[in-house]
Chains A and B, each alone.
Chain A
């Protein structure tokens, strides 16, 4: 059976979009249109009630890219019909022109880009066709979330609130240009669990997220994990502050993912190469990490929230080996950066929304697994911490500084976990120092796709990251 694209709307509009591309192709040397129809539902319960809202990713609209005067311009809009094509065409011609005032500015000049030569590709990529958002069993989901919340509350009087959430998002996209005609539909889901505990004036919480391309299975994951998450929140009430210093640590897979993402992923986004903002340029084919480290990124490298068939610039998904046994091999790119660098794009051109710019962005970023057992890793540490609970991170691609914040660290003394906790844990340092210090890696790789990734302080996109447990040596504060 051939599956159809989830969005009936985009299916209906394809001919109108093709007509628009044809019309614009008479005026511009290159034309592409990205059409997006995303819908999703976000369910959330806490002590005061339940909310059901459209997901923040819900949107429907179009993005036109044209090539004129040796540069690329874009125009986003969300009203289209056969009757409106004349108006839309005129608007695109008008709005994609660089204004004379800007052109005349003595401070700037226009970059000259080559014309994009796309390969001819026609394809329909429909995977994990899941329950349509509007057919989700609201009763079942809300009852399940409430039951988990109520059971969590029963665990301790110290809990002042418990937040449990579930989100399913269905994405449909078309990309039509002079040489490409692509369509795709896929679904992902997220679930979150955050019990908030209080002792006196002290508030503490542990947060756990789950992601899957089969959203309904997340409800079971919430059910089977809530006790552990509650226990971690309660344990944090007695956590102490870490004494600043350099420690041997073991990172749980979510923290390994945070390091892969922040420490190195952002640094190999090739729009940073174009801007001379990436130290990584100087290290291609040079060692940047321990020989144990092989790092991937790619929509085709794993099955998680950023596993699409083609990116927001119509480039098919790939699996890029960024670091191969410690040696930096290549970066990840969007189309415009690849053009500037005379490279082949890697399928990493992602947009926060149909109306935002595409940048080189991470997809599924992770370290391959190793050969060590977690118990041996713990046994190998005289004094250090097992770090868990991803909070935040910030990139520094130019100077390779690293800032990763984790919710907790459990003390390891004489090769054993002691049950004493420190919180929060700020890891800082120099990226190659950290990556070269990796001395042990466990076998199993886990990915986490609950969070969103920003570029600087904006441009949020879904991305997953992860890896195995790793042993490293870092500065904690």
Chain B
């Protein structure tokens, strides 16, 4: 069914007060390699529609908004679609929350998500990605074990009953690869997953090269010693995850649902900050991020917003509903963040003994409790005399106990939706080892 006919049906439906349609068209190509052998190629062409229907009602003088979300398949007949709308309308009377208004159209001109993937058909980038990955697979004792490559062109259209009709187009690249290395002990492996919204062959090559070099280090690593409480340096992905804690704590949804006690004007790093003070800005579009967007799925047009400045919460971010509840102007849901770097270089931060963890089995940070930790796949332990690669054991702690004194490196890193310090130093982190 064409979208205009669907809109006509929705506008004529008497069982609902409002609606929202999110239409996506996805075209993808995928390659799967084992070593350098192409195991399988895949392609897809998929069209999806997600419908939200709304129903406003009043109970004992309190206004409520009911809503229900349903997926409409492109093969549905008109009869099936009308049935699906009626079913969703029926469900919406039971799914009630306090009233909030739907987003109305803005007169602002929508910006365009920039990407150099626009320059030619996406399938033509596959060979460039393959070359960027395999050109550094040149080592005698180590190699790329397996690789998966995905490239997608995604078109999105958002239409609602208030008159919003926005469209955007973006590109999503993903590479997942495993590297192996064999020295005297058993062969080891490391895993890497990279998302990118721009074609940057040089960066991709560098990522693969770094992973191969880290594999070599893991192959000669020793067991992580039981260090008890120790000074720990986090790098890359785990730093990004630590910053996501502050991102989530600053969300109107978290505050309203009481998962967070954040308040504008208060410190998010506790009462006494001895280390670096955090400054975080949300950016709708960030070079290379697959999460860049010019509007969110409610239809809020996204603008840059500074949520934390020098450790103080300047603004909460959130969607239409929760922002309305907290009487705040909705920022919309912005997925990219830029974190201000610290003043000290990593060289300065590494003067005292440390355990630097550069790869975890799976670093976890619990947004509700603040606990973080993970098993160490590769770390560098400096005891004051020498630096040795270590593996095994784990680190654990609670960000709320540590963020009064944490230090950020002046070196910057860009990881998909994150742009900010590459390293973070935290004192007195529990290190379990042998």
Which residues of A come within 8 Å of B, CB atoms? 9, 41, 46-54, 58-61, 71-81, 91, 95-96, 98-99, 101-102, 104-105, 107-111, 134, 138-139, 142, 160-161, 196, 198, 201-205, 241, 244-245, 274-277, 279, 336, 355, 357, 391-392, 394, 396, 398-399, 401-403, 405, 424, 426, 428, 456-458, 475-477
Contacts and interface: CB of A to CB of B under 8 A. Distances in A.
Contacts of B430: 241, 244, 477
B344 interface: no
B339 to A, nearest CB: 22
Nearest to A146: B94
Nearest to A204: B369
Given A426-B432, A458-B176, A99 B94 contact: no
B123 A99 contact: yes
A129 to B, nearest CB: 20
A98 B43 contact: no
B145 A277 contact: yes
Nearest to B369: A203
B343 interface: no
Q: Across chains A and B, which 7 residue pairs bring their CB atoms closest together, nearest first?
A: A477-B432, A49-B97, A244-B432, A107-B134, A394-B362, A403-B375, A101-B127
A431 to B, nearest CB: 12
A282 B47 CA distance: 45
Given A275-B34, A399-B186, A142 B94 contact: yes
B46 A76 contact: yes
A14 B153 CA distance: 30
Interface stretch (B9-17, B187-195, B290-298, B408-416): B187-195
B124 interface: yes
B69 to A, nearest CB: 4
Contacts of B123: 99
Given A99-B123, A355-B46, A52 B91 contact: yes
A98 B34 contact: no
Contacts of A398: 180, 187-189
19 contacts: A54-B71, A71-B38, A71-B40, A75-B45, A91-B45, A95-B45, A98-B38, A99-B127, A102-B127, A107-B135, A107-B137, A201-B261, A275-B34, A275-B146, A398-B188, A402-B375, A456-B191, A477-B394, A477-B432
B155 interface: no
B44 interface: yes
B369 A102 contact: no
A221 to B, nearest CB: 21
Given A54-B71, A111-B37, A403 B394 contact: yes
B45 A77 contact: yes
Contacts of B396: 241, 424, 426, 477
B362 A48 contact: no
B33 A428 contact: no
Interface string B37-55: 1111111111110000000
A75 B44 contact: yes
Given A46-B257, A428-B394, A475 B432 contact: yes
A424 B371 contact: yes
Contacts of B106: none
A91 to B, nearest CB: 7
Contacts of A78: 46-48, 73-75
B95 interface: yes
A111 B432 contact: no
Interface residues of B, number: 86
Most buried by B among A78, A109, A198: A78
Contact of A276 (B71, B97, B145, B364): B145
Most buried by A among B43, B145, B186, B259: B43
Contacts of B31: 102
A394 B375 contact: yes
Contacts of A456: 176, 191, 193
Contacts of B374: 394, 403, 426
Interface of B is mostly: strand
Given A111-B37, A138-B90, A396-B361, A75 B43 contact: yes
A426 B432 CA distance: 10
B369 A98 contact: no
Given A49-B98, A77-B45, A428 B68 contact: no
B46 A54 contact: no
Most buried by B among A98, A279, A428, A456: A428
Interface of B: 30-34, 36-48, 67-71, 73-75, 83, 87, 90-92, 94-98, 123-124, 126-127, 130-131, 134-135, 137, 145-146, 176, 178, 180, 186-189, 191, 193, 226, 228, 256-259, 261, 325, 361-362, 364, 366, 368-371, 373-375, 377, 392-396, 400, 430-433
Given A47-B258, A402-B375, A424-B373, 7 more contacts: A73-B40, A74-B41, A102-B126, A399-B186, A426-B373, A457-B193, A458-B193
Nearest to A275: B146
Contacts of B256: 48
Contact of B75 (A60, A108, A275, A457): A60
Contacts of B369: 202-205, 424
B146 A50 contact: no
Contacts of A277: 145-146, 178, 189
Contacts of A402: 375
Contacts of B124: 99, 101
Contacts of A477: 373, 393-396, 430, 432
B175 to A, nearest CB: 12
Most buried by B among A76, A96, A142, A457: A76
A9 B73 CA distance: 11
A110 B41 CA distance: 10
A109 B36 contact: yes
A202 B366 CA distance: 12
Nearest to A94: B43
A60 B396 CA distance: 43
A458 B148 CA distance: 12
A336 B38 CA distance: 13
Contact of B41 (A50, A73, A79, A392): A73
Most buried by B among A80, A81, A205, A244: A244
Contacts of B392: 401, 428
B182 to A, nearest CB: 11
B9 to A, nearest CB: 18
A98 B393 CA distance: 44
Nearest to B30: A357
Contact of A160 (B36, B187, B258): B258
Contact of A50 (B30, B47, B94, B193): B94
B191 to A, nearest CB: 6
B153 to A, nearest CB: 14
Contacts of A101: 124, 126-127
A71 B188 CA distance: 29
Given A53-B69, A205-B368, A426-B432, A81 B126 contact: no
A102 B130 CA distance: 8
A275 B130 contact: no
A108 B193 contact: no
Contact of B258 (A61, A102, A198): A198
Contact of A139 (B34, B48, B94, B395): B94
A394 B364 CA distance: 10
Nearest to B65: A49
Given A91-B45, A275-B146, A50 B96 contact: yes
Nearest to A477: B432
Contacts of A139: 94
A357 to B, nearest CB: 6
Contact of A80 (B75, B94, B366): B75
B6 to A, nearest CB: 15
Contacts of A77: 44-46
Contacts of A46: 257
Contacts of A108: 33, 36-38, 130, 134
Contacts of A74: 40-43
A134 B39 CA distance: 41
